[in-house]
Copies of this chain bind each other. A is one copy, B any other.
């Protein structure tokens, strides 16, 4: 729990004062799929096999795979904790910098971990782990490239937590036998409090993960909500369109502020801001919370604002903090 994560908005409030914050420290969509009534049964009863099968059917269509290749888990985080325990510890390579739970979980399970900077350095490892597109820098790899990588390693784990707007990158439709793909529900659908993720892999690997997860690993409301949300393709298309435009717009603010765009995904952007601590503090005084990284003094990551009011506050803050960010940026 002591590891560095986004989502620490309560720390920001304790430090800079409570009130109405815009939390851009995560990559969670700030325009969530609209949750409406939850059935009494979803709260009261143990989640049923039938409810799980309905979700798996919808998710399989969404991810373009056979339902037998899909396991729902208690957030992608749960999969990250379980996968290192599927195999006897060997040599693992994690493409870094990336989401820090991958290496931490492997090490906790007894794996020596090599942090590598390119996939050409992963050949021969027992387990190779990368995030596609990568968090925080947005590096991306084509599915064919990763399929080739899979032939050179024992097992390949591809965390596609931010791939929903980029189905062209997904390894799922051409899944190698020794690959495990992770998907997150909470980020793209904006419902991270729900705790839901998926593993896509061969049935024998999924059966071992299911055994480790135990019965009823996914809560009842999550099953019902995600079944409806993942079938709502119109909402998904609108969300992708919004975030495409919004990412570009946030980059324009950043560039006006004199920052360099390092990369990112539809849901977050990574900037080289020279002095990340100073930039984070300056925006925090306007109750806008961002993400820094222990391994970089200059990188700052920002999630994408979700509505007109948030954009107005971003514009106001940038204008106050970086007076060269002009009024023209405030248009919606």
Q: Which of the segments A7-15, A116-124, A262-270 contacts the partner chain?
A: A7-15
Partner of A28, one of B10, B11, B45: B45
Residues of chain B contacted by A212 (CB below 8 angstroms): 81, 108
Instruction: List A residues 94-124 near B (Cβ within 8 Å).
Output: 101, 105, 108
Instruction: Please give the distance in Å from A115's CB to the nearest CB on chain B.
Output: 20
Stretch from A71-79, A132-140, A290-298, A321-329 contacting the other chain: A71-79
In the complex the two chains form, is A35's CB within 8 Å of B45's CB?
no
| Listed stretches A47-55, A61-69, A150-158, A246-254; interface member | A47-55
- Residue A161, interface by CB 8 Å: no
Would you call A194 and B46 a contact (CB within 8 A)? no
Nearest residue, chain B, Cβ from A108: B211
Contact B216–A195 (Cβ < 8 Å): yes
Considering the chains assembled together, what is the distance between the CA atoms of A44 and B28 in angstroms? 8
Verify B193–A45 contact, CB threshold 8 A. Answer: yes
Question: Would you call A10 and B46 a contact (CB within 8 A)?
Answer: no
Copies per complex of this chain:
2
A331 contacts partner chain B, Cβ-Cβ < 8 Å: no
Chain A contact patch, size range: 35 or more
B26:A32 contact, CB within 8 angstroms = no
Question: Does the CB pair B215–A194 fall under 8 Å?
Answer: no
A19 part of interface (Cβ distance < 8 Å) = no
In the complex, whether A58 has a CB less than 8 A from a CB of chain B is: no
A261 within 8 A of B: no
With both beta carbons as reference points, the residue of chain B lying nearest to A1 in the complex is identified as: B210
Q: Is the Cβ of A193 less than 8 Å from the Cβ of B214?
A: no
Pairs A–B under 8 Å by Cβ, sample size 15: A1-B211, A7-B48, A10-B50, A32-B44, A43-B225, A47-B193, A74-B219, A77-B215, A78-B217, A80-B214, A85-B85, A101-B214, A194-B219, A219-B219, A221-B221
- Known: A9-B48, A74-B195; 6 extra A-B contacts, CB below 8 A, are A5-B46, A7-B45, A7-B46, A75-B214, A193-B220, A193-B221
Across the A-B interface, give the 9 residue pairs with the lowest CB-CB distance, nearest first. Answer: A193-B220, A7-B46, A81-B214, A10-B50, A195-B219, A77-B214, A10-B48, A46-B192, A43-B193
Residues of A within 8 A of B (CB): 1, 3, 5-11, 23, 26, 28, 30, 32, 35, 38, 40-50, 74-75, 77-78, 80-81, 85, 101, 105, 108, 186, 190-195, 210-222, 225
